[in-house]
Amino acid sequence: MGLFSRGKRTPGSAAEPRVPGPGLTLTSALDQDGCLRALGRTLLTFRVPEYTHLPTFTEASWAWNGEPDQAPQKVLICADRAGDYVLVALWPDPRGCRIGLVPLGGDQQPGELECSMLAAWRLRDLSLSRPAAGLAAGLIRLVPPVLPSGWVAEIVSAGGYRPSRRNIQIAARAAGSLFLGRAELFIEHREPRAARRFVRRHSRRQPMNEAALQEIIDDLARTDPGVLPHLQWLLVRARAMMLEHVQDRDSFWGDLDR
């Protein structure tokens, strides 16, 4: 889907299902941290992130529709060899870790993950089992990501600047421009006028702050639920793009005070 490039694929539309389809489960003798390290190494063989600070996977925002005591401890989103999104759910186990995989891309079926992801993963985790069981459709549901408190201040600090009120306001405006740019890209393929209205509506919000950034996320999810998989990447992608230009004095960084 173009996580690490400037995407060639058209984003999903509101007609697409909001609930991920069926998946599969397997096991690993590695603990959760070991599974994540093996997964990260696997994903790097598929593609190198476009930006220095862009991870190969990120935590998804999700809701569990099954029995509460059966919910996974963590749900991640990444892209397989073809660039299609996959949810990775993790259940720690005394013998290692149970893993659930749910493909989100197009018409991909769970069985196709063997070629698109699992074969390469097994080279980094020899204990990874063959698929042991299915994972029912609709158990995991994506929801809009929630902006962590202090998200903008952390970016300012990571760039080597003081998280002063002025610096945070300038960085928030830059983040807002990135959010609205992605929103316009997501919406305009099906309704260009709606995309322009969306941008105008949220551009009027002054000052641009974390509450306004969250409103963009929530409104975009309401406008087009089909982009929920893409929205899971919005925060980490915007952060990576902003930090990529920290040495560029012509960017917003040049307006910040040390």
pLDDT in tens, 29-59: 999 999 999 999 999 999 999 999 999 999 9
Q: Tens of pLDDT along 186-236?
A: 999 888 999 999 999 999 877 899 999 999 999 999 999 999 999 999 999
Q: Return the pLDDT at 150.
A: 98
pTM for the whole thing?
0.89
Question: Is residue 26 classed as helix, strand or coil in its secondary structure?
Answer: strand
Q: Return the pLDDT at 107.
A: 67
List Cα–Cα distances, 190 to 2, 15, 228, in angstroms.
Answer: 19, 11, 16
Per-domain boundaries in the chain: 23-142, 151-255
The mean pLDDT of 225-249, rounded to a whole number, is 96
Q: Tens of pLDDT along 151-189?
A: 999 999 999 999 999 999 999 999 999 999 999 999 998
Q: How many CB atoms lie within 10 A of CB 51?
A: 16
DSSP 8-state assignment for residue 59: E
Residues 6 or more apart whose Cβ sits within 8 Å of residue 215: 202, 205
List Cα–Cα distances, 166 to 2, 151, 161, 172, 214, in angstroms.
Answer: 34, 15, 11, 10, 20
**Fold for the domain defined by 23-142:** TATA-Binding Protein (3.30.310)
Q: How many CB atoms lie within 10 A of CB 248?
A: 10
DSSP 8-state assignment for residue 127: T
- How many helices, marked H, and strands, marked E, lie in the chain? 9, 8
Residue 18 burial by Cβ neighbours in a 10 Å radius (0-12, 13-18, 19+): middle
